Amino acid sequence: MKTKEKILRPSSLTSSPSIVRDIQAALDATANERGVFGTRFQYHDEAGSTNDLAMRAAERGEPEGTVIVAGAQTAGRGRLGRTWFSPAGAGLYVSTIIRHVTLAPWITLAGGVAVAEGIRAATALPVEIKWPNDVVTVGSAGFRARRKLAGILAEAVSDGQQVQHVVLGYGINLLPAAFPPELTDRATSIESELGRTVDAGLVLAQTLVALNRALTEIEAGGPAALLVRWLALAPSARGARIEWDGPGGVTLTGVTAGLAPDGALLARTATGIDRILSGEIRWV
């Protein structure tokens, strides 16, 4: 497997591929808004999985905010071993290290907000969040017609006492080639939605700006502001018919009824209000 690694320093790039130049320029332009995110940055033309690289970097002691980006992933992953299709040049594959472990319960919601706000800021494409953090298109044809633009995989390592560190990974489909053709009715890309090219560096930089903003807000004032932002981006969190897998593999159905203070999705069922803390929801 070829893995060319470039460790970038501010304004150090003169003869790199255009994607790397775009990223560097966008990171330089947002240096005051990203906090620690992206101050240490690696670009790989190809990697197995950026989350695996970031996890190893975290174990080596690399600091919070270290960002690893790949032009392609040969073993991109989603939840529970699912593959995240990651061909060269079609998507943005990003992982970052978070060491403020008290933020761990909020990182997946913050990640969804960061990617959604980052895409909006960089491209003006309106996007929404599906609980807890899939980023999907906006439309008038009902939630089932929403197509996925970006996915997030957050992974943590804990001993029996507490979380040691968290890696937040996200994949954003930039071009239609970023997803397999058989997923056309469920997946899309930023460029196919907009009908024009986008600056991948700008998308990366704006997601890091939004991530820094979300995490800084939680540290300063608790999760209330994050929950407000998240709800504003997730109209399907209220009044949408869903099904999900309950304990023991039973399929449950209900209607979404907002977020609990801990970020669990609430759903009204025939017997009351259920809390959904894990797994995925499906539109029905």
Partner 1 sequence: MDFSDIERILDLVRQHDLAEFELEKEGLKLRVRKAGALPAFTASPLHTMPVVVPTAPSAATPAPPPMASAAPLSADEAEESVELAVVKSPIVGTFYRSPEPGAAAFVEVGQRVKKDQVLCIIEAMKLMNEITSEYEGELVSAYVENGKPVQYGERLFAIRTV
Interacting residues toward partner 1 by CB under 8 A: 79-82, 104-105, 107-109, 132-133, 152-163, 166, 247-249, 263-264, 277-279
Max Cα–Cα distance, the chain, nearest Å: 63
Alpha-carbon Rg for the chain, nearest whole angstrom, is 18
Nearer to partner 1 (CB atom), residue 79 or residue 268: 79
Letter string b/e over residues 241-255, b meaning 16 or more CB atoms within 10 A of that residue's CB: bbebeeeeeeeeebe
For the bound state, the minimum distance from the C-beta of residue 40 to partner 1, rounded and expressed in Å, comes to 23
Find how far residue 151's CA is from the centre of its chain: 5
Least separation in angstroms between residue 260's CB and partner 1 is 11
Residue placing its CB nearer to partner 1 in the complex, 247 or 272: 247
Using alpha carbons, select from 246, 242, 244, 272 the residue that is nearest to residue 256: 242
To partner 1, the closest distance from the beta carbon of 161 in angstroms equals: 6
Q: Tokens 């690399």 map to which residue?
A: 62
Question: Is residue 28 within 8 Å of 205, Cβ to Cβ?
Answer: no
Which of 90/163 has CB closer to partner 1? Answer: 163
Nearer to partner 1, 20 or 150 (CB): 150
- Provide, rounded to whole angstroms, the least separation between the CB of residue 195 and partner 1: 31
| Three-state DSSP class for residue 153 | strand
- Closer by beta carbon to partner 1, 177 or else 264: 264
Q: Least Å distance between CB 19 and partner 1?
A: 28
Which one, 122 or 163, has the nearer CB to partner 1?
A: 163
Four-point Cα dihedral 85, 91, 95, 96, nearest 10? -160
Give DSSP secondary structure letters for 218-243.
Answer: HHHH-THHHHHHHHHH-GGGEEEEEE
Could you tell me the smallest distance in angstroms from the CB atom of residue 159 to partner 1? Answer: 5
Alpha helices in 99-254 (DSSP H): 107-123, 190-194, 200-221, 224-233
